[in-house]
């Protein structure tokens, strides 16, 4: 379990990227249980009332001035908080919201 190493707004990449698992990048929201956490999903789909994000929602670099893997790219936020399984990890921080 490594989700407790992250903060609200961190963008995570799951190790298990199967479509029904951690395929989409996850915005960490908060802890939930020992085996799960709450997160949001980002996507490139504008279906199902997904909300378009803006370039100013994303940090471009980390505190050491290294470029993040995930930044704005015509990105949409899927509305809703979702339970994410620790089994999809370990997770890596690949971006951050402002």
* pLDDT greater than 70 at residue 90: yes
| Closest to 95 (Cα-Cα) out of 10, 2, 5 | 10
**pLDDT tens digits for range 33-70:** 989 999 999 999 999 899 999 999 999 999 999 999 99
The answer, yes or no, to whether the previous bond of 90 is cis (omega within 30 of 0) is yes
Which tokens go with 7? 């903060």
Compute the residue count for the chain: 98
* CB distance 57 to 74 below 8 Å: no
């Amino acid at each position: 379990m490594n989700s407790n190493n992250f903060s609200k707004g961190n963008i995570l990449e799951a190790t298990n990227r199967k479509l029904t698992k951690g395929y989409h990048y996850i915005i960490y929201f908060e802890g939930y249980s020992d085996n799960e956490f709450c997160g949001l999903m980002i996507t490139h789909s504008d279906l199902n009332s997904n909300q378009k994000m803006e370039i100013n929602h994303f940090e471009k670099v980390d505190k050491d001035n290294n470029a993040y893997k995930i930044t704005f790219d015509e990105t949409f936020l899927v509305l809703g908080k979702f339970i994410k399984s620790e089994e999809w990890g370990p997770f890596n921080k690949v971006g951050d919201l402002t």
